[in-house]
Structure 1
Amino acid sequence: MYKSVIIGTGPAGYTAAIYLARANMNPLVIEGLQPGGQLTTTTEIENFPGFPDGIMGPELMDNMRKQAERFGAQFKSGFVSEVDFSKRPFKIKIEGQDEIEAESVIISTGASARYLDIPNEQEYVGRGVSTCATCDGFFFRNKKIIVVGGGDSAMEEASFLTRFASEVVLVHRRDELRASKIMQDRAKSNSKITFALNRTPIEVLPQDMGIRGLKVRNNETGQEEIIEADGLFIAIGHNPNISFLGEQITTDPLGYIVVNPGTTETNIPGVFACGDVQDSKYRQAITAAGSGCMAAMDCERFLEGSSVHDWSETLDQ
């Protein structure tokens, strides 16, 4: 049995591991299918404090992992397929491996950006294709950018990108936007934003080490068109990675884990959540790391406050 198991990595999971390891909690980190999380697909990160010249995403994640390992955190490769939070010790099933038990669990499985699933999209993530305007907008100063999406997030991303871009083209497959009226009005009143509605993206067009635009289908005429651009930002939402939880943890309508305000506590005592899996608003490496610190401290205090036996008796009552 482990005192604490961290499901997932990224800046939130690794930070939680660093704090718990330094507190002699000997945490086990289950790394999942993509150790390091979304930042391992990011090239240069310029907005993480402490790196004035920037740092590559994979390097930052590798450094965090080594730091946690230095203090005694253990790591296990594998994908968590099922958990049982009905009583302590909690049970965690790793696909193809033995079941493990834990006195406490920190969930740091993140959220996966939704993609268009069109040719050349995945190959050019970090090389012209992005899902985070805050992260990558700076790299497209005075460039033409395409934003795909029709909801509030797409309007917000498009408006934000006009701080850098010379022009932003918002592509949406329907003839009407789904965004709230106030967000639509804000985007429509921005002289840098133009709209290409009723267009379905069908292929990212590569060029050297970047992209040269997006091929779309005009849904009215059926004709294929090319929208030239230096960058493509996909803003069609995120999916929190929670399928292994079943219905044991309370989530909001979008699927993000609900935590008690000002804490990382979930509806189940002894189970905590940090990072993008519980954050639909900020989704930044630095805020994820901060919530990882919070989760570790919440977890440590929980473990110090009650034993498995004491808590089991409380649940039975």
Structure 2
Amino acid sequence: MTEVHDVIIVGSGPAGYTAAIYAARANLKPILFQGMQPGGQLTITTDVENFPGYPKGVLGPEMMEQFKEQAERFGTKIHFEEITEFDFSSRPFTLKTDFGEHKANAVILSTGASARLLGLESESKLMGHGVSACATCDGAFFPGKEVVVVGGGDSAMEEANYLTRFASKVTIVHRREDFRASNIMVDRAKANPKIEWQLNKAPTEMIAGEDGKLRAVRLKDTVTGEETEFKTDGLFVAIGHVPNSQLFKDQLETDENGYVLVKNGTHTSVEGVFACGDLMDHVYRQAITAAGTGCMAAIDAERWLENKSHEMIAEGHWAPTQQ
């Protein structure tokens, strides 16, 4: 008989690990599945300087290892398998991996979101070495530098304006002359004297210097096909994010972009399923806010389990946890 757990947490990163810490301290004996990218997006980040408690900054992978150790300290069991199938249609909920089946009375989803990237091999090699997908996270590393923002939507305009706080010049690169961004955001960017434009241009390669950091980007003219090398100290990809909700979005209410909708904290449209971190947050997308919602999800799950257990036992829908 498959063991039924109080709570299973799917996804690591600040949200998942924080949920695990709180759930473990509440004696819920959580099981956490790390997924394909243990530690989430912070594992491809170098220095993290805006998380409280690290006055000298910390490497993203190092921070996530510390989160993991703290979760394990309180009894979280961590699995390296990836969940491949979710069934929220009946309780206990069923989650499957390539190696077996797992059941839980409550599930916390913290699968995060993935930045849309350009898909260039050089982009992945230089990620964290001059290439970034988060101006809020990494903009402060470019004081007095010249940087590039790739994109034509509101997020690109917003990130370009934000980066002018630090950079001496920000160049927006966009493959067309018209923009998906709202007029007010475009007008705001055009009014900023530190923002310049490279339109009808598409990046084809990020070029590293001798120090292994980005020194230039190769741009292809989308009209003439001509390629030129454009010197830059940093490049920010701002073409949006994709929530990692593909495997269960048909079972939960999501917005038009796939972000899981929550109410009363972290409750999803299915009772007993909770969502936290970038999976449900398309506004802030910071490590500290993800950790905060992870805490909320664990507390919400604990209270829901406590309030619902007697009622659901009477209805015959509850599976007692096997000790």
Under a length normalisation based on structure 2, what TM-score does the superposition of the two structures give? 0.95
Amino acid at match of 1:235: A
Q: 2:224 aligned with 1:221, yes or no?
A: yes
Verify the 8 A CA contact 2:249 2:258 in the aligned structure 1: no
Q: Tell me how far 1:221 sits from its aligned partner.
A: 1.7
Distance 1:64 1:246 in 2: 27
- Please, which runs of 5 or more residues in structure 2 have no aligned partner? 318-323
Alignment of 1:55-70 (within 5 A): 55-70=58-73
Structure 1: which 4+ aligned runs deviate by more than 4 Å?
none
Structure 1 residue 312 displacement after superposition: 8.1
Match of 1:109 in 2: 111
Q: Does structure 2 conserve the Cα–Cα contact (< 8 Å) formed by 1:119 and 1:202? A: no
In structure 2, the residue matched to 1:175 is 177
The residue type equivalent to 1:81 in the other structure is T
Change (3 A) 1:144 1:188: same
Deviation sequence 1:219-245 (CA, Å, 0-9, x none): 122110111100000000111001111
The one-letter code matched in structure 1 to 2:90 is K
Residue 43 in 1 paired to residue 46 in 2? yes
* Structure 2 Cα separation of the partners of residues 308 and 28 of structure 1: 23
Task: Give 2:35's aligned residue.
Answer: 32
Q: Does 1:194 align with 2:196?
A: yes
Note the 1:227-242 alignment, pairs <5 A. 227-242=230-245
The answer (yes or no) to whether the contact 1:89–1:308 under 8 Å persists in 2 is: no
1:273-316 CA distance string (max 9 Å, x none) = 0000000000000000000000000000001012287178398x
Aligned to 1:295: 297
- What whole-Å deviation, never above 9, does each CA across 1:198-229 have from its counterpart, x for those lacking one? 11111011112211111011112211011110
Most deviating of 228-237 and 305-314: 305-314
**Aligned counterparts of 1:166 and 1:80: Cα–Cα separation in 2:** 45
SS in 2 for 1:80: coil
Q: Aligned runs of 1:154-173 on 2, under 5 Å?
A: 154-173=156-175
Q: Which moved more, 1:126-135 or 1:243-252?
A: 243-252
Conserved in 1, the CA contact under 8 Å of 2:13 and 2:64? Answer: yes
Measured after TM superposition, the shift of residue 118 of structure 1 is 1.6
1:2 aligns with 2:5: yes
Within 1, Cα distance between the matches of 2:265 and 2:235? 36
Alignment partner of 2:270: what SS?
Answer: coil
Question: Would the alpha carbon gap of residues 185 and 149 (structure 1) be closer, same or farther in structure 2, given more than 3 Å must change?
Answer: same
Mapped to 2, the partners of 1:11 and 1:258 lie a distance apart of 19
- Equivalents in 1 of 2:124, 2:241: separation in Å? 16
Matched position secondary structure for 2:90? coil
Aligned AA (1:130): S
1:48-103 Cα distance to aligned partner (Å, 9 max, x none): 00111011111111111100101000011111111100111000011x21111000
Task: Give the Cα–Cα distance (whole angstroms) in 1 for the partners of residues 62 and 215 of structure 2.
Answer: 28
Q: Which of 247, 257, 261 in structure 1 is aligned with 2:260? A: 257
Q: Give 3-state SS (helix, strand or coil) of 2:122's partner.
A: coil
Q: Distance in 2 between matches of 1:212 and 1:173?
A: 21
| Root-mean-square deviation over aligned CA pairs | 1.5
CA positional deviation for 1:151: 0.1
Q: In terms of mean alpha carbon deviation, does 19-28 or 302-311 score higher? A: 302-311
How far apart are the structure 2 equivalents of 1:246 and 1:293? Answer: 23
Identity %: 54
* Distance in 2 (alpha carbons) for counterparts of 1:144 and 1:237: 22
Between the aligned partners of 1:311 and 1:236, the Cα distance in structure 2 is 48
Q: State how far apart, in whole Å, the 2-side matches of 1:168 and 1:304 are.
A: 53
- 1:84 and 1:157 map into 2 onto residues whose CA distance is 38
- Tell me which residue corresponds to 1:93: 96
Which whole-Å CA distance do the structure 1 matches of 2:190 and 2:246 have between them? 37
Contact 2:249 2:260 in 1 (8 A): no
